[in-house]
Amino acid sequence: MRKILLGLMLGILSTTGYAAAPSGNLMDAQVDVSDQGSLQRGAKLFANNCMGCHSAKYVRWNALPEPLGVSMEMVEDNLIYGAYQAGDTINAAMRSEDGAEWFGAAPPDLSLTARARGADWVYTYLNSFYRDPDASIGWNNKLLANSSMPHVLWRLQGVPEAEYEDTANGVQVAGIRVPDAQQGMLSTAEYHQATRDITNYMAFMAEPVRAKRQEIGVWVIGFLVIFTGLAYLMKREYWRDIH
């Protein structure tokens, strides 16, 4: 009986502890793929700001309505630009050859990035852009140094600048701050929320069935617990006469 209980507890732990532990200096994205409001805002921000360059080619448009809690018409009206056919996947407006030429690196497909890099990494990346004092670099990124992606959300966040510190390895970026005179449309808290919504949407895209799987998992575990209890009672009942 003890072994069964232990097994059950391990089972429960492994279904709830699905998110990879944050590592290093990453910010905590606190993703919650069952938060439909966040997914809807994230989908909209993603369509408006990211799909010019990035595709999400493993995700089909018609897979979005149910998990986002919206109708297919809303997806068509708000997220899809240009021609679309039922079953189409999420494509970038730009050809990746052009991206490689214009930015020095082709903007990668983002379907699985939140799983490959981790959601906290994506969230931190979107909060790590700064204007490099070296004008030939332009936008830089504290997490991915010399990233060729421009800070596409600067209108929202403002124009962040880096604070430097002397370390044993030379001068390094210690932190990032948006000076008062360079604030964007959103407050710091609102920008965090916006980038969290985008990250949440990317986490959902990387594993669209996760919310459903967790929901089913709870029922399965519940069933197992009740079933184990019943089986135990039955065993006692059967063995009572034999002892």
Only segment of 11-19, 57-65, 109-117, 220-228 that touches ligand HEC (CB under 6 A): 109-117
Total number of residues that touch ligand HEC (CB under 6 A): 23
- The residue written with tokens 């209890």 in the block is 229
Beta carbon nearer to ligand HEC, 11 or 52: 52
Q: Count CA within 13 A, CB hemisphere, residue 126.
A: 30
Beta carbon nearer to ligand HEC, 31 or 153: 153
SS3 165: strand
Q: Count CA within 13 A, CB hemisphere, residue 90.
A: 30
Q: For residue 60, count CB atoms less than 10 angstroms from its CB and return exposed for 0-12, middle for 13-18, buried for 19 or more.
A: middle
Residues β-bridged to residue 172: 165
103 lines the binding site for ligand HEC (CB under 6 A)? yes
As measured in angstroms, the least distance from the Cβ of 30 to ligand HEC is 17
184 lines the binding site for ligand HEC (CB under 6 A)? no
Name the DSSP class of 135: T
Q: Count CA within 13 A, CB hemisphere, residue 44.
A: 11
* Residue number with the smallest Cβ distance to ligand HEC: 50
117 lines the binding site for ligand HEC (CB under 6 A)? yes
| Residue 209: Cβ within 10 Å count | 12
Q: Judged by CB under 6 A, which of 122, 176, 203, 205 binds ligand HEC?
A: 122
Only segment of 46-54, 83-91, 170-178, 214-222 that touches ligand HEC (CB under 6 A): 46-54
- Cα separation, 189 vs 94, in Å, equals 31
Q: Judged by CB under 6 A, which of 108, 132, 159, 184 binds ligand HEC?
A: 108
Terminal alpha carbon distance of the chain: 19
Only segment of 104-112, 132-140, 155-163, 171-179 that touches ligand HEC (CB under 6 A): 104-112
**Residue 237: its H or E element:** helix 210-242
As measured in angstroms, the least distance from the Cβ of 92 to ligand HEC is 9
Inter-residue contact 172 to 143 (CB < 8 Å): no
Only segment of 105-113, 129-137, 158-166, 218-226 that touches ligand HEC (CB under 6 A): 105-113
- Cα separation, 161 vs 204, in Å, equals 31
Site string for ligand HEC, 142-181 (x = CB under 6 A): -----xxxx-xx----------------------------
- The residue written with tokens 């929320």 in the block is 193
26 lines the binding site for ligand HEC (CB under 6 A)? no
What is the binding site for ligand HEC (CB under 6 A)? 49-50, 52-54, 99, 103, 105, 107-108, 110, 113, 117, 122, 125-126, 147-150, 152-153, 198
